Amino acid sequence: MSEGAAVAIGVIFGTWGSTNQVQTAINIHDGQSGELLWKYDYEAAGSIGSSTTKLVDALMRNATKKFPYTAP
């Protein structure tokens, strides 16, 4: 919902709704066998004052921490 609608609902009903939402599904498969090597599914929601960019940055930071491979 828009930030204006979230503020209105928050003021009227005392509950704050989600204004931004980010979902990701990252799947890494073996190139030859097609076997699934790693899967990462995540969803994040923000409230008033959050931006989609900040949510995506937080989501990708979290994904890189869980990534099972590192650069040599």
Contact 28, 8 (CB under 8 A): no
pLDDT digits (tens, 9 = 90+) for 13-69: 555 555 567 778 889 999 999 999 999 888 877 766 667 777 778 888 888 888 887
pTM over 0.75: no
Residue 50, pLDDT score: 67
Residue 33, pLDDT score: 94
DSSP track, 30-57 = -TTT--EEEEEEEEEEE-TT--HHHHHH
